Amino acid sequence: MALSNNNFLYAHNFNQNDSSVLYTLINQFEIEKNLALENQFVNNSSYSIHSNRADELFHKLASFRKGITENSIFPNHHDILLSNLNLTTKALVSANIADESLREYGLSTGLDSKMASGLLNMSIDMIMKMNETSTTNMTDIANTHSMEKMTSRSNNQSISNEGTQENKVVKNLANYETSVALAKSLKILFTNYLRDPKLENSTGLMPIPTGMKINAIRELGQGIDNLVLALNRNASVEEVYSIVHGQIHPNLFLGFSLKLKSD
The answer to whether 251 and 7 have CB atoms below 8 angstroms apart is no
Please give the pLDDT value at position 196.
87
Alpha-carbon 126 to chain mean position: 20
Q: In the chain, which residues have pLDDT < 70?
A: 1-12, 43, 66-81, 122-168, 200-206, 262-263
**Structural domain spans, the chain:** 86-256
pLDDT in tens, 99-128: 999 999 999 999 999 999 889 876 555 555
The residue among 259, 195, 182, 201 whose CA lies nearest residue 222 is 195
Q: Is the Cβ–Cβ distance between 26 and 78 less than 8 Å?
A: yes
The model's pLDDT over 79-94, given as tens digits with 9 standing for 90+, comes to 556 777 888 999 999 9
CA-based nearest residue to 217, from 179, 235, 191: 191
Residue 172 — left, alpha, or beta (φ > 0 → left; ψ -120 to 50 → alpha)?
beta
Q: Rg of the Cα trace of the chain?
A: 19
* Among 144, 109, 145, CA closest to 127: 109
